[in-house]
Amino acid sequence: MSAGGGRFVFLESNTTGTGRDFCAAARARGMRPVLLSRDPGRYPYAVLDGIDTVVLDTSDPQAVLEACTRLDPVAIASSSEFFVALAARTAAKLGLPGPDGDAVERCRSKDTQRAVHAAAGVPVPEFAAVTGAAEAAGAAERIGFPVVLKPVSGSGSVGVRLCGDADQARAWAERLLSDGSATVLVEAAVSGPEFSVETFDGEVVAVVAKHVGPEPYFVETGHDVPAPVPAATAAGLGATAVRAVRALGLGYGAAHTELRLGPGGPVVIEVNPRLAGGMIPVAVKAATGVDLVDRVIARAAGLPAAPRAAAAGHAAVRFVQLAGEGRVTAVAGLADAAAAPGVAAVTASTAVGRELRVTHSFQDRLACVVAAGPDPAAAARRASAATALIDITVEETPR
C-alpha cells in the first residue's frame, strides 16, 4: 500500500531536537502528520507549521488505540523517549510497521537493560538496583568508589551523579527517591572518553564522540561526527553497540547507544530505542549524508530509504550552556550564528520570559549549533565560533 496522502500519527513529541523535523519529513514524503497530545501547547511548532492535532490522554493506551483506529493512519511513531513503546504497541495492534514493544520497554528500564546485557555477555559496569538510601550506600561500597547513581528511567542526564563515598551515595539516593524514583541504579564509574553509536536496523551509521561537562554531573556539551578516533577503535565501539542492540531484541529502526571507552575496551552505558537527541541526527546528516529522521519516517511508512546525499565529511555540535539562574530577558544572535560559515542548523530551547534554574541536565542547554567542515578541527572551530555569536541574557531574580 502506498503511503502517499495518508496520515502519519505522532504520539507526543520531544520538545527540543527532532520533533518538528519528524512532521516535516512526513510531509516531504507526501503524508499528513497528525499529533496526538495531552497538551499540544507544549509544541509551538504544531501551530507554526499547521500540524493537525488531537487532544487526548496519551498515557491511556486504549484512548490512543481508539484515536488511531479512527484516524486510520499509514504509520505511527513517536520522537518522545516516554512514548516510543506505546507507539510501537499501538502500531502492532493496527498491523503497521514498528519496533517490538517489549524490546523497547526493556530499554526504558535501565536495571532491566543492565540485566539483559550482563546475561548476554555484553560489557556493562558492575551494578545494583536498590530501593532505599542505605541500600544504595551499601551497594556502592560493595562495587567500589567512585560510583554513578541514576534513576532507572529517564534521559538527558536527569538525576545522574558521580558519588565518591558512601555519604554522597546515600544523600543522592535519598534525593532521587524523594523526587519520585522508585528504584535507583548504582553502578561502577567507568573511566575513559564517552561515545555514542547511531544504528539503524541493527547496522552502524555513525560513531560519535561526546563532550561532557565537569563532574560530578554528566551534561553533554558537544558532539563530533564521526568520532576522531582510529578506525579500529571506531569499529570496536560499533561492534559493541550492535551486540547491545541485538541482545535487547531491537532489530528495527533507530537506536542510540552510549558507551565509555574504558581501560579494557568499550563498555555500554545504555541503549535508547530511538534517534539520538542533542541535534546528533542533524550532525550525522551534515557529516555523512544519511538522513536518519527521514529513515525513521520511511521505515514506519513502508517506503524505501532515500539515497545518501552529498556531505561535508565532518560535523560538530556545540551548546550554549546556562551560566546563571534567573529570567531570560533577551535572545540575540541566532540569525548571525545561522549565517556563519559551515553552519547547518541553529536552535534555541529557551525564550524571553522563561525562568531558568540549574538542573545539571540537558535542560541547562539554551541553544545549539551544528556546523560542518572538511575535518574535525574545522567543524569544531566553526561550531564554537557560531555559538559565540549567540547572546542569551539572563537576569537574576529572587528565588
How deeply is 41 buried, as exposed, middle or buried, from its count of CB atoms within 10 A (0-12, 13-18, 19+)? exposed
Q: Give Dmax over CA atoms of the chain in angstroms.
A: 60
Q: Which helix (H) or strand (E) holds 343?
A: strand 343-348
Q: Which residues of 125-160 are buried (b: 16+ CB within 10 A; e: fewer)?
A: bebbbbeebebbbbbbeebeebbbbbbbbbbbbbbb
Q: How far apart, in whole angstroms, are the C-alpha atoms of residue 363 and residue 15?
A: 11
Q: How many CA atoms are closer than 13 Å to the CA of 175, on its beta-carbon side?
A: 13
Catalytic residue among 106, 274, 295, 318: 274
Separation CA 329–CA 334 (nearest Å): 15
Name 314's bridge partners: 373
167 φ, ψ (degrees, to nearest 5): -65, -40
| DSSP per-residue string spanning 160-180 | -EEE-SHHHHHHHHHHHHHTT
Question: Quick one: cell of 320?
Answer: 550554549
The CA distances from residue 315 to 234, 261, 282, 377, in Å, are 16, 21, 9, 9
For cell 513517536, the residue is 78
Q: Which residue has the cell 513502508?
A: 302
Residue 214 three-state SS: coil
Unique residue bearing C-alpha cell 561492534: 239
Cell for 393?
541574557
Indicate if 274 belongs to the active site: yes
381 phi and psi angles, rounded to 5 deg: -60, -45
DSSP string, 68-128: HHHH--SEEE--STTTHHHHHHHHHHTT-----HHHHHHHHSHHHHHHHHHHHT-----EE
Q: Which residues are catalytic?
A: 274
